[in-house]
Amino acid sequence: MSEEDVRGDGGLEARLEEQETFEPPESFVEQANVTDESIYEEFEEEWPQCWEQAADLLEWDEPYDTVLEDEEAPFYEWFTGGNLNASYNCLDRHVEDGAKNRAAIKWEGELGETRTYTYGDLLNEVEAFAATLRDLGVEEDDVVTLYMPMIPELPIAMLACARIGAPHSAVFAGFSADALATRMNSADSEYLVTCDGYYRRGDALDHLSKTNEGLEDVEHEVSDVVVVDRLGDDLEHSLADNQHDYDELVDEHAGASVEPVSRDAEDMLFLMYTSGTTGQPKGVKHTTGGYLSYAAWTSQAVLDIKPEDTYWCSADIGWITGHSYIVYGPLALGTTTVMYEGTPDYPDKDRLWEIVENHRVDIFYTAPTAIRAFMKWGAEYPDQHDLSSLRLLGTVGEPINPRAWKWYYQNIGNEECPVVDTWWQTETGGMMVTTLPGVNTMKPGSAGPPLPGVDARIVDAAGEEVEAGNAGYLTVQKPWPGMLRTLYNNDERFISEYWQEYSDEEADEWVYFPEDGAKIDDDGYITVLGRVDDVINVSGHRLGTMEIESAIVGVSGVAEAAVVGGEHDIKGEAVYTYVIPEDGYEGGDDLREQIVEAVEDAIGPIARPEEVVFTPELPKTRSGKIMRRLLEDIASGNELGNTSTLRNPEVVEDIAEQVQGD
């Protein structure tokens, strides 16, 4: 198969044709956590026992008896029989080991204020909030929703939940009120931790009103809402009867000691909702033993984290990247993790580099969309700062184009830091395909080989492995500890979304399908091409086109809508919407505004359409299917192929002219 068959966008082939390669710098290799390439063979030969190495990074209350239980595949279980607590592993044991005074979290607010929590401080805070949650009535296995921006109370709340065995479900603070309600309803969550507001480019955003709006649409009774006072305004007057001031409750519980609850390895640690092909977000379930082991192991092997490091991942904790690689992985390893509340260009475009310099950051992990923005702003911003503390750079969330990769390598890493391009998903819990920075040659644009022990293969539509040089579909053919266990309350959808496509049920051979297209080269390096389902990736954020479409068709005056992703210089992809107005309605600015508003209300500003194109018809095949591929090509400004198989080829030109101009 060619790349074109898998995914419409061309160009990548040409970009990779003269792919340069880079070797890991000697200075890095000398000190790296993993330097021996025999690890690949070792993990293959000793699979699945190899994953004991991950479990060994944790302290278990009760040792596990079985590494992998595959009796009920694809409902795999890892480290069965074992018991542990995630908060204990991220806090207490480091304090017991003498790291009480080591910084655990270094937080910087957008306005420039800073807070440092040592491991000792963090443990105290977590215990006080865990005691608070218990007092409010939160019991083991109750789902607690966390709707918070990048403030320290978010990881504190996560770890407090983990301590008492209450799974958390974090909802990205930029999501809309509707999105909050949908997730609370789906998880039947009766407890919520939120805040009054936060800062964006110097302005205070009102988060409490949005929260309250969302709460109106929650179908069950919400027992308690805890509100963090971030803005310093008088909170009391704005709180309803079941709403409490975080600080007051925590003060009352200061000094509390809360024994970490011993959880079964397979007990749920958290839920994380993510977009899928239908309008309903999927509640991805992660467990305590497998997930935490995998987050810790990949943090050590790929991010090369050591306890004495200052490590910074600039993602938001409201997404999986922040869960695994700001909170759980780094804290399990006892390192110092940096958190930044704000935007990279406030007050100026050197804000991130100022943070790197001030905190002497060793490892920096970000998204390609951010790198493309840095590139556009220019090298003069990083040049103003001493970035010599950096040792390793990473990217995640979307394909990185070789040009952005090289810019990052040269201008941020000064050609002295390896760059790891890590492919993974909310569902995989941790990294799956990437180079090991102390071992492998780097090839900009390609993520790299699958990690040791990860059986990722590229297959064609029939499920046969493609030959080197070809494109196909990315699959994972063996389970791994960090994998999702199911979709919350929806085992059926878990099977149909991930395991139906390429598994042979009768032979009990299960193949995980992440719904990404990819290419493989002679060295087994994988270049991820992007989603092959109806999900688009805007600035590294996964959005379901169906979710957006259903918001748009709810606007009166809209008869039909099609949403696709189109290429975008900075965002990677942007949302393009094609709308057929109802008879008697004009497709004009008014309707456009209502459509944009409806999308922001349903999902949030991240889903805001780049363009709304009105058209009397959508291009359809003779059997009546919308030709999405063609709409994507129009949005991306690609040359349009043969349209003769369409029922209505004449509409194409009209639409293309509106989008691309003439």
**Interface with ligand WTA (CB under 6 A):** 274, 319-321, 396-399, 421-426, 447, 514, 516, 528, 530-531, 537, 542
* Residue 231 beta carbon to ligand WTA: minimum distance, rounded to whole angstroms: 29
Instruction: Give the nearer residue to ligand WTA in terms of CB position, either 422 or 486.
Output: 422
Distance CA 589, CA 595 (A): 10
Q: Which two tokens stand for residue 82?
A: 């074992």
Instruction: Give the nearer residue to ligand WTA in terms of CB position, either 338 or 543.
Output: 543
* Residue 385 beta carbon to ligand WTA: minimum distance, rounded to whole angstroms: 26
Instruction: Give the nearer residue to ligand WTA in terms of CB position, either 443 or 542.
Output: 542
Residues 6+ apart with CB under 8 A from 377: 345, 349
Instruction: Give the nearer residue to ligand WTA in terms of CB position, either 337 or 615.
Output: 337
* Residue 658 beta carbon to ligand WTA: minimum distance, rounded to whole angstroms: 29
Q: Cis peptide leading into 444, omega within 30 of 0?
A: no
Instruction: Give the nearer residue to ligand WTA in terms of CB position, either 635 or 652.
Output: 635
- Position 145, amino acid: T
* Residue 179 beta carbon to ligand WTA: minimum distance, rounded to whole angstroms: 15
Distance CA 105, CA 117 (A): 5
Instruction: Give the nearer residue to ligand WTA in terms of CB position, either 186 or 446.
Output: 446
Distance CA 171, CA 41 (A): 40
Instruction: Give the nearer residue to ligand WTA in terms of CB position, either 227 or 392.
Output: 392
* Residue 324 beta carbon to ligand WTA: minimum distance, rounded to whole angstroms: 8
Q: Which two tokens stand for residue 527?
A: 């270049």
Please, how many CA atoms are within 13 Å of residue 34, restricted to the half-sphere of its CB?
22
* Residue 222 beta carbon to ligand WTA: minimum distance, rounded to whole angstroms: 27
Instruction: Give the nearer residue to ligand WTA in terms of CB position, either 227 or 603.
Output: 603
Long-range contacts, 255-258 (Cβ 8 Å, 24+): 255/124, 255/128, 256/127, 256/128, 256/130, 256/131, 257/127, 258/127, 258/130, 258/131, 258/134, 258/163, 258/164
Distance CA 562, CA 600 (A): 17
Instruction: Give the nearer residue to ligand WTA in terms of CB position, either 342 or 572.
Output: 572
Distance CA 172, CA 163 (A): 22
Long-range contacts, 590-593 (Cβ 8 Å, 24+): 591/555, 591/557, 591/558
Residues 6+ apart with CB under 8 A from 562: 549, 577, 578, 618, 626, 628, 631
Following CA atoms 473, 38, 19, 437 in sequence, which dihedral angle do they give, to the nearest 10 degrees? 100
* Residue 535 beta carbon to ligand WTA: minimum distance, rounded to whole angstroms: 8
Distance CA 617, CA 434 (A): 43
Distance CA 568, CA 56 (A): 43
* Residue 618 beta carbon to ligand WTA: minimum distance, rounded to whole angstroms: 25
The strand pairing partners of 537, in sequence order, are 542
Instruction: Give the nearer residue to ligand WTA in terms of CB position, either 134 or 519.
Output: 519
* Residue 368 beta carbon to ligand WTA: minimum distance, rounded to whole angstroms: 8
Distance CA 442, CA 90 (A): 32
Q: Cis peptide leading into 450, omega within 30 of 0?
A: no
Q: How many CB atoms lie within 10 A of CB 504?
A: 10
The H-or-E segment that residue 549 falls in is helix 545-553
* Residue 284 beta carbon to ligand WTA: minimum distance, rounded to whole angstroms: 8
Instruction: Give the nearer residue to ligand WTA in terms of CB position, either 60 or 291.
Output: 291
Q: Cis peptide leading into 74, omega within 30 of 0?
A: yes
Instruction: Give the nearer residue to ligand WTA in terms of CB position, either 91 or 607.
Output: 607
* Residue 150 beta carbon to ligand WTA: minimum distance, rounded to whole angstroms: 17
* Residue 532 beta carbon to ligand WTA: minimum distance, rounded to whole angstroms: 9
Instruction: Give the nearer residue to ligand WTA in terms of CB position, either 149 or 322.
Output: 322
* Residue 69 beta carbon to ligand WTA: minimum distance, rounded to whole angstroms: 26
